[in-house]
């Protein structure tokens, strides 16, 4: 039974990824709004140096909010190469935006599986200026507090 539930969960997540991969959007630029979406969202910003200093700490976790294909190595969205930051975990903003039965339970299971817990400092990154905000907003609604972009 447990194996069946795991298989169903994987199929649902794969379906979410396939469905969510069909959309494209134009990132909001600082020139268009006068400020970045990260600033608009009110989340703390972390510099590359600060991230590098904390990357090996068990108190920090890095989330890649981009499409899972980008996390897995595809060079998407105009980037020169694919892949992800060393030690980052995949938690795509697309998973939050797709409508699927039991989505909340599936997302909570993914958070637990990836060791994304409220006691950690959570750094979220993307390439388009909005996926990280989507994930940060979702995590904030789930009670997460130490969120950085």
Q: What is the pLDDT of residues 65-88, one digit of tens each?
A: 988 887 877 676 776 767 787 789
Query: What pLDDT was estimated at residue 25?
Result: 36
Residue 63 pairs with which residues in a beta bridge? Answer: 89, 124
Question: Which of the residues in the chain have pLDDT under 70?
Answer: 1-41, 74, 76, 79, 81
What lies within 8 Å, CB to CB, of 135 at 6+ separation is 63, 65, 91, 93, 96, 124
CA distances from 98 to 15, 41, 103, 104, 117 (A): 9, 21, 8, 11, 22
Query: What pLDDT was estimated at residue 74?
Result: 64
Query: What pLDDT was estimated at residue 2?
Result: 42
Reference 87, options 128, 46, 59; nearest CA is 59
| Alpha-carbon dihedral sign for residues 60, 92, 28, 31 | positive
Concatenating the DSSP letter of every residue in 129-149 gives SSHHHHHHHHHHHTT---EE-
């Amino acid at each position: 039974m447990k194996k069946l539930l795991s298989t169903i969960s994987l199929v649902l997540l794969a379906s979410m990824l396939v469905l969510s991969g069909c959309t494209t959007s134009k990132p909001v630029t600082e020139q268009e709004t006068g400020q970045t979406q990260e600033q608009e969202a009110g989340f703390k910003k972390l510099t590359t140096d600060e991230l590098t200093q904390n990357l090996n700490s068990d108190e920090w976790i890095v989330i890649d909010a981009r499409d899972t294909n980008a996390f897995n190595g595809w060079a998407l969205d105009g980037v020169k190469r694919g892949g992800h930051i060393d030690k980052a975990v995949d938690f795509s903003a697309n998973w939050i935006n797709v409508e699927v039965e039991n989505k909340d339970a599936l997302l909570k299971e993914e958070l637990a599986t990836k060791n994304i817990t409220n006691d950690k400092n959570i750094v979220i990154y993307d390439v388009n200026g909005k996926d990280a905000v989507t994930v940060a907003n979702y995590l904030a609604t789930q009670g997460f507090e130490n969120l950085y972009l």
